[in-house]
Amino acid sequence: MLINGKQGHSIDVLDRGFQYGDGLFETILVEAGCATFLAQHFKRLAKGCVALGFPLLDEAMLRDEISSLVKAKQSGVLKLIISRGVAERGFLPPVKPDITRVISFSEQPVAISRELSVCSLIHCETRLSRQPLLAGIKHLNQLERVLARAELRGQEGEGLMLDVKDQVIEGIMSNLFMVKDNCLITPRLSHSGVAGVIREFLLDKAKDEGIACEVKEMALCELENADEIFMTNSLMPVRVINQLVTPTASIIKSSTGFAQWALNAIADDIQRQCLESVG
């Protein structure tokens, strides 16, 4: 673990990341020594810095620090956290913050499989708030997801999160895609939710390949009537939903065609990134 570029295991208790959740984070899959989709993660991080009024980070410095933690052929999970750092007491942010950055790597036997994993999608009572200023970015205030995850204690599957206006947004830790009449559809994230790196990759890939796709507001009834549902995130790229559990019904889903397309596209690109990283 590196804290501001040096080995360490603790931060100042006055750090605004700890005091107020005043910060951002990225969770990145490492495959065979390659931090995958790193440019896309940095792009979202930069968007978050603009939204919170942080100075933009030196990407070359971050890449060097990541390289010092991740050795050749290692796989696992890389986590990057930045906060506004230590400042005077109170909510008012400093004009020139001294950013705290923490980079950690956990080695795991990761290998992207082209075999789809399946899970159920379970409706959560906890709602996501609507805040356009924070929509799309991955900030440190994640209590809504903590509460939603607690609802599923002892249950297997991903949690489905709606916002306070009952619009379908995403999973607790993943973005959502549904398919209807051969059109790939994902919820609009203008007011809440995280714009996932894999979500953005698949939207671009679908457009490049001429696959019909749409980003729209989505009601629960539309999801119930979907031909196919799958979830995406950086660490578990694609999970196909075989059962949708709502307050009134348990609906079996069996189609997997688009999910397999998505997984193959992601696996191909990760393979390309890994080859380029050693080339």
Annotated catalytic residue within 27, 59, 79, 126: 27
Q: Known catalytic residue: 126?
A: no
Does residue 274 contact residue 134 with C-beta atoms inside 8 Å? no
Q: Known catalytic residue: 115?
A: no
Annotated catalytic residue within 100, 138, 186, 228: 138
Annotated catalytic residue within 158, 170, 200, 228: 170
Distance of CA 53 to the CA centre of its chain: 21
Q: Known catalytic residue: 276?
A: no
Q: Residues with catalytic annotation? A: 27, 138, 170
